[in-house]
Amino acid sequence: MNELGYIRVAAASPEVRPADVDFNISEIKRLISDAADKGSDIVLFPELSVTGYTCADLFFQQNLIEKTESALKELAVFSSDKKIAIVVGAPLRAANRLYNCAVVITGGKIIGAVPKIHLPNYNEFYEKRWFTEGSRCESGCRLDSDLTFISRNTLFEVAGARIGIEICEDLWVPVPPSCEMAMNGAEIILNLSATNELAGKHNYLIDLIAQQSARCRCSYVYSSAGLGESSTDLVFSGNCIIAENGTILGESERFIMKDKMIIRDVDIEMLRNDRVKHSTFSDSANGSYDIIMTDFAGCRTASMNQHEQNGILRHISSHPFTDGDPHRFRERCSEISSIQAWGLAQRLRAINCKKTVIGISGGLDSTLALLVTVKAYDMLGIDRSGITAITMPGFGTTKRTRSNATCLMELLGVTMLEIPIGEAVIQHFNAIEHDPELHDATYENSQARERTQILMDMANKTGGIVIGTGDLSELALGWCTYNGDQMSMYGVNASVPKTLVKYLVEGYADTTDNLEIRKVLLDIIDTPISPELLPAAKDDSIEQKTEDLVGPYELHDFFLHGMLRNSFSPSKIFRLACVAFSGVYDADVIRHWLKIFYRRFFSQQFKRSCMPDGMKVGSVCLSPRGDWRMPSDASSSMWLNEIENL
């Protein structure tokens, strides 16, 4: 395992010739060498890959079984100078029974074998004709002087990771053996398979593997028989698939006339962190498993000082909150907006309230909050006039944002008010003897608190509640005024990161039938992010741009996801960010904003400790009543020191 917590795994599907063991072994050797040269710690081959899966009654032939045993010894010798664990499929005989096995070889030794537990004997499958169920094999059953047969209750430790093995049909049963393996510590599940192609079966298989990796919080490596297997009755395309915690990391192309191999880095550290966080994961663990240790720690343990994408064989998304299949992402955005609206609707229904008050700036966050509130009212069948939307122009308000705010409120049919705050803030400055020309924190925060006071008082006047507009990224950075925009009576954006906000607004723009609303929303999306608390430029453009001051939100959201969702260290987040943002930000820029992120995240916890109620919409949330509990005076020195030493 390298310093990022990665293990490099390869899934290979070689060309085979049924019953031609010499040919099959030569092809396996070639792919082993290729996988080893590319830094793989483990290489997996298909079910019965030494002989071929479609040998049928030839499995009863003594010379085929003897040839298989000698071929496995040959592979062991071949592996002696290679730092890689090899897993091949072979028929093995013990105690007058034949077993369909996965054989583990490394460092010149055959270190163990695992039998197939569930043998399909229906439709096109007749495995019980030749093989015995692995559950009937006694632990430690002797095959010969070089190999001890290991029962199903066996895990292997390779390069610092625990490996469990199941074979083909084992995955398709109601409770796969991999479930118990994972609960007993297996972080990578290897599946040697011979899955034939049927119309629609491939999509089912992909979903099955993805879901099993999610259920087991593991990496799932799958290799299936392919080129050269007999097509007498069935077709095998040689699927190679690597999944991790519900995500498909890689998949080989089907129906090509050559052998296949895919290689990916799987994140063992992330899987371990996820299992620790979800405390119910191992509650159902039962039984005991033997652990067989390998002699090598992995071939990629050296420090990774290069940050190029080709140094890591997996996709590192620069936008983890918004990445994924475009169609599914659009569906997810629609679902998120519905969760937001439903949460607010339920709160209004529970407190028997039909009035809400919301401050509208013409920026993204308040726009999304207004759209969510409108949707909640529509869900409840309440007239939108019950929404009092207030624009409160101040010293930094520009014509663009003011116009967009006014237009949007009018088009949505809500009750609209405009209450300038300038005079009230100047009066406040006079009362506290603050120079209005001194544009410091007092100057800025006084405006934010004046706006909040107006909203709270209007809520009292109308008998309604104040809708909070602040987002997850602002909460993480503390980029809000304590007892100003930090406070509301219900925050609808509290678990929506800034990089997602614009996509949600864009979703509303794409689905509305009103072209005027669409036009306004798209212009809001195009407006620079700003609190508009400092005077505008002479040309009335926004002078105070948030990302110039606090840093790019795409970086901060990347840091936030790595820290909260995956519990990564600053050094790992930094290295992954250097890969994800290669060509966009250099290492010094990333390091600078990472330090700012951690400093602000720790110092601003006091604002989160008393944040208002608000629904959770994703896996990352900072509510002190739910996902994130942290002392407001915790020390950040350990994290900041680590960044200093990068």
Domain limits of the chain? 6-311, 326-644
Pairing label, strands 142-144, 260-267:
unpaired
| CA–CA separation, 9 and 258 (whole Å) | 20
3-state secondary structure of 354: coil
- Tokens found for residue 341: 């609206």
**326-644: which CATH architecture?**
3-Layer(aba) Sandwich (3.40)
Query: Which residue from 321, 319, 218, 335 is spatially nearest to 278, judged by alpha carbons?
Result: 218
Tell me how crowded residue 555 is: count the other CB atoms within 10 A of its CB.
24
Q: Pick the catalytic residue: 27, 47, 532, 554?
A: 47
Place of tokens 């798209």: 522
Question: What's the CATH fold of domain 6-311?
Answer: Nitrilase/N-carbamoyl-D-aminoacid amidohydrolase (3.60.110)
- Tokens found for residue 513: 């039938």
Cα-flanking dihedrals φ and ψ of residue 166, to 5°?
A: -135, 165
Query: Which residue from 11, 10, 47, 17 is spatially nearest to 193, judged by alpha carbons?
Result: 47
Q: Pick the catalytic residue: 101, 141, 168, 218?
A: 168
216 is catalytic: no
Tell me how crowded residue 425 is: count the other CB atoms within 10 A of its CB.
20
Burial 7-17 (b: 16+ CB within 10 A, else e): bbbbbbbbbbe
Query: Which residue from 641, 624, 640 is spatially nearest to 632, judged by alpha carbons?
Result: 624
Query: Which residue from 538, 501, 546 is spatially nearest to 521, judged by alpha carbons?
Result: 501
Pairing label, strands 356-359, 161-167:
unpaired
Question: What pLDDT sits at residue 285?
Answer: 74
| CA–CA separation, 222 and 170 (whole Å) | 12
Query: Which residue from 347, 16, 29, 12 is spatially nearest to 190, judged by alpha carbons?
Result: 12
55 is catalytic: no
| CA–CA separation, 213 and 333 (whole Å) | 24
Pairing label, strands 97-106, 142-144:
unpaired
- Tokens found for residue 630: 């942290």
Cα-flanking dihedrals φ and ψ of residue 409, to 5°?
A: -60, -45
- Tokens found for residue 638: 């350990």
CB 486 within 8 A of CB 471: no
Place of tokens 């990916």: 264
Q: Pick the catalytic residue: 82, 116, 498, 502?
A: 116
pLDDT along the chain (646 residues), means of 10: 92 97 98 96 98 96 94 95 96 90 94 93 93 80 59 88 96 95 96 95 96 98 96 94 97 93 98 93 77 67 40 93 85 95 98 98 95 98 98 91 95 97 96 95 94 98 98 96 95 97 94 95 90 76 78 96 97 97 97 98 97 96 95 98 96
- Tokens found for residue 188: 């990578």
Place of tokens 């723009």: 509
Question: What pLDDT sits at residue 642?
Answer: 97
C-alpha pair distances (Å), 208 with each of 197, 213, 220, 376 = 15, 9, 11, 36
| CA–CA separation, 503 and 511 (whole Å) | 12
CB 532 within 8 A of CB 391: no
C-alpha pair distances (Å), 517 with each of 255, 336, 498, 613 = 48, 20, 21, 29
| CA–CA separation, 568 and 580 (whole Å) | 15
CB 21 within 8 A of CB 71: yes
| CA–CA separation, 17 and 23 (whole Å) | 7
Torsion of CA 506, 507, 511, 514, to 10 degrees: -30
> CA quadruple 289, 189, 146, 79: dihedral positive or negative?
negative
Cα-flanking dihedrals φ and ψ of residue 361, to 5°?
A: -100, -20
Pairing label, strands 142-144, 109-115:
unpaired
- Tokens found for residue 397: 């308000």
Place of tokens 């992995």: 298
| CA–CA separation, 42 and 35 (whole Å) | 8
**Amino acid found at 177:** P
Instruction: Indicate the helix (H) or strand (E) that contains 336.
Output: helix 326-350
Instruction: Indicate the helix (H) or strand (E) that contains 504.
Output: helix 498-511
Which residues have a Cβ under 8 Å from the Cβ of 437 and sit 6 or more positions away?
Answer: none
Query: Please, what is the Cα angle at 505 between 502 and 507, to 5 degrees?
Result: 110
Instruction: Indicate the helix (H) or strand (E) that contains 87.
Output: strand 85-94
CB 250 within 8 A of CB 264: yes
| CA–CA separation, 598 and 573 (whole Å) | 12
What's the longest Cα–Cα distance across the chain?
100
